Structure 1
Amino acid sequence: MKKGILYTLISVFVFAVASCSDYLQEENKVDIDKNGFLNDAAQVETVLYGVYQTTTAAPMYGWYQSFYFGIGTDCEYINDNGIDTWRTVPANAYPTTQSEIQDAWRYLYIGVYRANDFLERVSAKYDSYTEEEKPLITVYMAEARALRGLFYFELIRRFGHIPLITTTAMSYSDPREMVQEDPAKVYEFIEADLKYAAETLPWATDDTYRKDNSFRFSKGAAMGLLAKVYATWAGWPVKDTSKWELAAKTAGELIMSGKHDLLDDFEDLWKNTCNGKWDPTESLIEISFYSPTYKGSSDPSGRIGKWNGVLTSSIAGTRGRCAAQVKVTYSFIMDWRAEDGVGVDKKGTKEEDDDEYFPNGTKPSGLFDKRRDLSIANYKYDHTLLDDPKEPILLTAEYTNGEYDPIKSMHSDLDPEKKVSAKQSYTPAKWDIEKYQNTSYLLNEDMSNVNWYVLRYADVLLLYAEALNEWKGGPTNEAYAAVNKVRRRAYGNPDNTLDCDLRIGLDQDNFREAVRKERKYELAFEGHRRLDLVRWDMYYETIQQTYNDMVDLYPQARYIIQKYTVKGKHELMPIPQREMDLCTKFEQNPGWK
């Protein structure tokens, strides 16, 4: 979305709020007559930005839908024994009345309402637009349908059993008469929206319609999201396995187009997102935040990098703190280190693990996954300990005569006997604001203008490999090529690519596990892991195994989510209690009654 227009939009246009409780019935608060405003393509685009702006709210990708709802897997968690305030949701200790759950539901339906309202009003006036404007306005309508598909996708995969509101009139129905739709029907609606968008929108690099398509839906974005929808549809709880074929064919069409690719350097992804740089090569769907100064204004801003970044001290007038509330599970760190033969495996031994997925059953000496140290921060920034506020300090730091000793600290980081408790404080490193950001604007203690990737091309490659394996009953050459493309970048594009390619001859089960492992490493902390575990129907078991692994490594390990997670319950969020009270025909999700 275009930042320059986006943050001023609220003062131009206000849409009605919509969902299936009392806010459905709110009076439509419109400052100006919508029909009188939508007179040309420029005005239509301005209103379209209002639909996009929904994505930047805290209950959307500003906080909840990006990383907050994803905390609590075998990769990340909240390192605390308590379940008060903001810790309640990451611990799976929340009730049906939890405000964050209610707000997420509400804002997703606000997005649906805004998309419905936009589409209805523009459709009604379509014949009044000039012939020169109609192709452009058609593109805008396709964007709105893609956004509506995204909003419904978040609703169906998080809440499972939801009402399908396809018109603004339905938003004002009597709540007592509202019903939940068959999830398959919701998926069909999402499919129709995204197929229309994919057929109508231009490729990002071929766009001659929009003057600026930065951070906006394109053909590739719609196709990539549709492939992800099919893969989710094929998994738990709907389990329509016929959709694996459609997932493979849709992802394959996108890949064969040649319109998108991986960036050469994995680190460039994080340099871009921390600086709001639009590069559609790999970024398919990206939420853009503006907020150059953020002093309590209404500029779109999020918590990306502040909550899920590297621990950073606050310096008055120079930088705001990064609280780094999201921690990396120690077992995940040790698994990844062991795979690269860096010092220890997760049991604390100093022997390299053989990796059955490498060509010869063992990773070649000197070859290592460059993503690991770009994804996990074993350091912090603290200007009270070092004169240079930008110099990282290892969390397992050791001191000689009271002075920080980086050599000793480096070795203590690799020693399983040293400062294990400190290693529970490792954080995601992808959104290292201090390292990557080229501005000095982030003075606020809580908010940032760091962007969020909803969908990357790497995700599509791995979905393609996964879908082919499931559809064909085993891996194909194309499936191998897709996952190996991701692995080759991870290992630095080595000249001898066979060194890091998956071993030929894996059966369906082993290839499935290899792709799942690759998704875990490539997409770590990007909001996909929990949803992946749910669609693979292994969320509860993974939580329990992670707890066992953590305690094996460190008996005092804090992983409180294990205590509260219930099988058959926490795979889905509850229908908010407010909705249950008002919409009397609704049925609550299993385990939440």
Structure 2
Amino acid sequence: MKRISLYIKLPFAATILLMSCNKLTENPSGVIVASQFYKTSSDAVTAVTAAYNTLNSDPAGDFPMYGRQLNLLTDNNSDNQNFSPSNTNPDVRALGTATYVSANSRIQKNWQQHYYGISKANVAIDNIANIPVGQFSDTTLKPRLIREAKFIRGLLYFNLVRLFGGVPLVLHDATTTGVNDLVHASRASKDEVYAQIITDLTDATNLPATYSAANTGRATSGAAHALLAKVYVARKDWPNALKELQKVLNAGTFPGATGTYNYGLFSNYKDAFQKATKNGVEHIFSAQFATGLGAANTTQYLSSSFTSFNTGVFPIDCISDSSVVKIFEDADTRKGVSFYTTVYNSSTGANVVFNNAYTPYLNKFVDYSLTPLAPQNPSGVNFPVIRYADILLLYAEVLNEINGGPTADAYTAINLVRTRAYAGVPHDVTPGLNQSDFRDTLFLERRKEFVQEGQRWFDLVRRGVNTQTGQPYLVDALKVIAAKKAGIEAKDTLYPIPLVEIQTNPNLKQNPGWEGN
């Protein structure tokens, strides 16, 4: 496995997985030499496209960040998901039982993939600035591309700071500065990392609100405002979170809302996870995936629970935890979209019922556009990084925190999500809740809404310490399934800095509780 330091030192030494200059789908096209770069607008587009590529592919051919790797830290290591009994990777199994150590290869891979993406964003930011403006027939393209790269860098640092705490801030391309900051830099504080994230995303709010169809999938100003709102919520900066949410919420829907993006909820919950409805009304920003493009590692691997119509125990990757299925009422359509025990086999015209000790299986990213439905690992279903449902639930949360309890608008926002979940039939939250009870209800709703979408671990951690038990919410939640997550401790609210990075960089200090592990 390559080290991240090598990725940064030699950004053009390996084949770059390029997508077409417009559409954000992968299209390998060969080796690009450094001397050919940064002279034309086409070079600038290619550089930013390479940054987008780090979300849906891996230079070493491993599973993509948003196609599997991040899921192992945010879902497999939560109370929603477990490793499969047939999974032979000891590091995946260790994450599934919270018995991992700093040498865990999947933790290391997440660190590497994020910094590789940051390095690509830095390449674009540093070098596009030097391309003469006369090379751009559209004068808005140059600043737009830089802001897109800043959006990606902000997103990746937001993941890193929540996973690891303070991390090295690498803000320039090593090939232009001659210095590989990741090899010798100390960890910046969490506040410093968040300040940089806010700076990058604030600049990205100047991106276009929409794009032509050929550019579908690129970061927009709405995506930047939405991600900023999530950043401020993570910081418990409720006033700034409210300001950003109001810029995303459609004007006229809530007091102070000024959004002009026309986001909304799909009437059918399952449409948030279908190929035919990619980049639709609810999708604020998604990692783009597609099948049949000639590179397996640019496809979604979260669909790997469906590998055949074999009703026995067959090799799968990660499965749902039985406890999460029980929190759904049968009338909640999210249950059938999130999990399955029955699949229709169009080849035989029969419903195949899976009834073994390891069902239900995770369903959201199974590619049902395949006709007939075929056993799959890769799926072309996009990964929704931010959906409008998230904005509504965050809005309800922020109002509850600012006002010391839920307001009428907080109830309206959460009930919009619940009504959609129950196929348009109102299923309102119990009125008259106090702040604490509404908060509990809100986080339960988030759990139901975002199964397998990389939210649960982050949500548990950001809740902090449960004052009733004196333990982090993460520990309390995972102790419920103690037989599977028996190793959970308070230190697990941050992942360890990967051992190989500490061995490479003596200035890196380990997170508390992980020293010697």
- TM-score, normalised to structure 2's length? 0.83
Write out per-residue CA displacement over residues 379-418 of structure 1, whole angstroms, 9 at most, x where no aligned residue.
357x7xxx9556333334xxxxxxxxxxxxxxxxxxxxxx
Query: Counterparts of 2:297 and 2:349 in 1: how far apart (Å)?
Result: 27
Query: Residue 74 of structure 1: CA displacement?
Result: 2.4
What residue ranges of structure 2 are gaps of 5+ in the alignment?
15-30, 58-62, 250-256, 465-472
Residue of 117, 124, 131 corresponding to 2:130? 124
Give the corresponding residue for 1:183. Answer: 190
Query: Residue 26 of structure 1: CA displacement?
Result: 4.5
- Tell me whether 1:560 sits opposite 2:484 in the alignment: yes
Query: Counterparts of 1:299 and 1:85 in 2: how far apart (Å)?
Result: 20
Give the corresponding residue for 2:18. Answer: none
Query: Residue 41 of structure 1: CA displacement?
Result: 2.9
SS in 1 for 2:326: helix
Measured at CA, do residues 326 and 103 of structure 1 come closer, stay the same or move farther in structure 2, by a change above 3 Å? closer
Write out per-residue CA displacement over residues 441-471 of structure 1, whole angstroms, 9 at most, x where no aligned residue.
967x633333211111101111111112112
Query: Residue 477 of structure 1: CA displacement?
Result: 2.3
Query: Counterparts of 1:89 and 1:380 in 2: how far apart (Å)?
Result: 29
- Tell me whether 1:64 sits opposite 2:60 in the alignment: no
8 Å CA contact 2:8–2:119 kept in 1: the answer is no
- Tell me whether 1:467 sits opposite 2:398 in the alignment: yes
8 Å CA contact 1:292–1:441 kept in 2: the answer is no
Give the 5 Å matches for 1:350-389.
368-379=331-342, 389=348
Query: Counterparts of 1:139 and 1:18 in 2: how far apart (Å)?
Result: 31
8 Å CA contact 2:209–2:220 kept in 1: the answer is yes
Q: Which amino acid aligns with 1:437?
A: S
8 Å CA contact 2:122–2:172 kept in 1: the answer is yes
Residue of 353, 365, 372 corresponding to 1:394? 353
**What's the Cα RMSD here?**
2.9
- Tell me whether 1:530 sits opposite 2:494 in the alignment: no
Measured at CA, do residues 23 and 266 of structure 1 come closer, stay the same or move farther in structure 2, by a change above 3 Å? closer
Residue of 200, 207, 220 corresponding to 1:201? 207
Give the corresponding residue for 1:580. Answer: 502
- TM-score, normalised to structure 1's length? 0.73
Q: Whose radius of gyration is greater, 1 or 2?
A: 1
Measured at CA, do residues 566 and 89 of structure 1 come closer, stay the same or move farther in structure 2, by a change above 3 Å? same
- Tell me whether 1:313 sits opposite 2:313 in the alignment: no
Residue of 251, 257, 260 corresponding to 2:245? 251
- Tell me whether 1:115 sits opposite 2:121 in the alignment: yes
Give the corresponding residue for 1:269. Answer: 272
SS in 1 for 2:319: strand
8 Å CA contact 1:395–1:423 kept in 2: the answer is no
Q: Which amino acid aligns with 2:65?
A: M
- Tell me whether 1:228 sits opposite 2:230 in the alignment: yes
Write out per-residue CA displacement over residues 483-529 of structure 1, whole angstroms, 9 at most, x where no aligned residue.
111111111212xx4xx122332211111111111101111221211
- Tell me whether 1:590 sits opposite 2:512 in the alignment: yes
Give the corresponding residue for 1:238. Answer: none
Query: Counterparts of 2:504 and 2:156 in 1: how far apart (Å)?
Result: 22
8 Å CA contact 1:71–1:326 kept in 2: the answer is yes
Q: Which amino acid aligns with 2:432?
A: G
Query: Residue 203 of structure 1: CA displacement?
Result: 1.7
SS in 2 for 1:335: coil
Write out per-residue CA displacement over residues 332-365 of structure 1, whole angstroms, 9 at most, x where no aligned residue.
22232xxx3x6xxxxxxxxxxxxxxxxxxxxxxx
What residue ranges of structure 1 are gaps of 5+ in the alignment?
1-16, 235-242, 315-320, 343-367, 397-421, 548-558
Q: Which amino acid aligns with 1:107?
A: Q
- Tell me whether 1:448 sits opposite 2:379 in the alignment: yes
Write out per-residue CA displacement over residues 86-143 of structure 1, whole angstroms, 9 at most, x where no aligned residue.
423322222211222222111211111111111111111243434x422122222211
8 Å CA contact 1:469–1:479 kept in 2: the answer is yes
Give the corresponding residue for 1:13. Answer: none
Give the corresponding residue for 2:326. Answer: 334
SS in 1 for 2:419: helix
Q: Which amino acid aligns with 1:331?
A: S
Give the corresponding residue for 1:489. Answer: 420
8 Å CA contact 2:494–2:511 kept in 1: the answer is yes
8 Å CA contact 1:378–1:394 kept in 2: the answer is yes
Give the corresponding residue for 2:298. Answer: 300
Aligned residues: 472
Query: Counterparts of 1:171 and 1:464 in 2: how far apart (Å)?
Result: 44
SS in 1 for 2:300: coil
Give the corresponding residue for 1:406. Answer: none
Give the corresponding residue for 1:429. Answer: 363
SS in 1 for 2:97: coil
8 Å CA contact 2:69–2:109 kept in 1: the answer is no
8 Å CA contact 2:72–2:92 kept in 1: the answer is no
Measured at CA, do residues 212 and 59 of structure 1 come closer, stay the same or move farther in structure 2, by a change above 3 Å? closer
Give the corresponding residue for 1:546. Answer: 481
Query: Counterparts of 1:502 and 1:378 in 2: how far apart (Å)?
Result: 29
8 Å CA contact 1:91–1:564 kept in 2: the answer is yes
Query: Counterparts of 1:441 and 1:391 in 2: how far apart (Å)?
Result: 12
Query: Counterparts of 1:75 and 1:42 in 2: how far apart (Å)?
Result: 43
Q: Which amino acid aligns with 2:116?
A: I
